[in-house]
Amino acid sequence: MRKLVIRKSKKTAAIVTVAGFALGIGGALLLQYAGEEVVGWLFIITAAFTLIYGFGSLFDRRPQLVLTVEGITELFTIREEIAWEAILHADDLFYRGQYIVRLLLDRSYKPMSVRPSWFWRFDRLYAQQGLKAVYIRTSGLEMNARQLVGLIRRMTAADAAERVDVLKAFAGRRDKR
């Protein structure tokens, strides 16, 4: 095994879909029995958007992250493989209600499609230190931010021969769940 593909979580998508149905039923009950039209319609509108997101996530089986022996690829914003050797530090942070994985890259490593991030103040600080930051959102993925950071740290610490074993061990643990 030389590649680990991470997709959107089916479990999270199913929970969001069930919550959407519950919101819709709650809104209909508020409209019918409580006479609360504004709140009932707000529940129904929220339920519609929740169901759209839930069904979209449930049937979206595109890869979100691909981890290989050579590097990591985030397929929506970066779309270019970042070599393990270029990653100097990896950690997770909580920002505006979601967990994000932050990768600090050596400034000399310049992938073509890594754009400035929405943390522009931090980007300026990192640039002064000769670093480039890349942020990966982990909400709704099959693994959480801590697991991903742990895996990235193990992959950056391992040499090329050990990385295959690290990927196999992690995939084996993930399949047992």
30 with 112, same domain? Answer: no
Q: Is residue 31 part of a domain?
A: yes
Cα four-point dihedral sign 162, 164, 169, 174: positive
27 with 109, same domain? Answer: no
45 with 79, same domain? Answer: no
Range of the domain at 26: 9-59
Between the alpha carbon of residue 78 and those of residues 73, 108, 111, 135, 163, the distances in Å are 7, 17, 9, 9, 22
149 with 81, same domain? Answer: yes
Q: Is residue 137 part of a domain?
A: yes
87 with 166, same domain? Answer: yes
Please give the single-letter amino acid code of residue 19.
Answer: A
Assign 74 a pLDDT band (cuts: 50, 70, 90): confident
41 with 69, same domain? Answer: no
35 with 92, same domain? Answer: no
Q: Is residue 157 part of a domain?
A: yes
CB distance 133 to 143 below 8 Å: no
pLDDT of residue 118: 66
75 with 160, same domain? Answer: yes
23 with 76, same domain? Answer: no
E strands in the chain: 3-6, 65-68, 71-74, 82-83, 87-95, 98-106, 131-137
Between the alpha carbon of residue 50 and those of residues 22, 70, 96, 102, the distances in Å are 10, 38, 19, 28
- For the chain, the domain total comes to 2
In the predicted model, is pLDDT for residue 113 greater than 60?
A: no
Instruction: Please give the order of strands across the beta sheet that includes 82-83.
Output: 3-6, 65-68, 71-74, 82-83
26 with 100, same domain? Answer: no
Strands 87-95 and 98-106, bridge-based pairing: antiparallel
In the predicted model, is pLDDT for residue 173 greater than 90?
A: no
Nearest to 153 by CA among 97, 161, 145: 145
In the predicted model, is pLDDT for residue 11 greater than 60?
A: yes
Q: Is residue 74 part of a domain?
A: yes
Query: SS3 for 25?
Result: helix
Q: Is residue 3 part of a domain?
A: no
pLDDT, mean over the chain: 86
Q: Range with the lowest mean pLDDT among 8-17, 75-84, 107-116, 125-134?
A: 107-116
Strands 3-6 and 82-83, bridge-based pairing: unpaired
55 with 75, same domain? Answer: no
113 with 150, same domain? Answer: yes
